[in-house]
Amino acid sequence: MLSASGCFCFASREEILDAIVEGMGREQILQGGAIIANRDTPLPERLAGAVLTLNFAGCAGVEVLEQMNKPRNTLLH
């Protein structure tokens, strides 16, 4: 959560991970939209590309999922 001073303040580890996942999801949706909007690519390839952008297994997604699945973060589920 952004405070009045412009700093992010989180009450718990769960809030931090929620914010990370939300930001990643937002970015992936924007990427998927850009792929769909590219009319130079055939529709089946655009659909496949858009679906692949929703995969959290790429980039930092692996680390986030590993953190979420640690026993100490069981309240996230």
The C-alpha atoms of residue 72 and residue 69 are separated, in whole angstroms, by: 8
Predicted TM-score (pTM) above 0.85: no
User: Would you state the pLDDT for residue 40?
Assistant: 95
pLDDT tens sequence for the chain (77 residues): 555 556 678 888 778 878 877 877 788 888 889 999 999 999 999 998 888 887 755 555 666 667 667 777 666 55
User: Would you state the pLDDT for residue 37?
Assistant: 93
Where are the alpha helices (H) located in 6-71, listed in sequence order?
13-37, 43-53, 61-68
Q: Where are the domains of the chain?
A: 28-71
User: Would you state the pLDDT for residue 35?
Assistant: 92
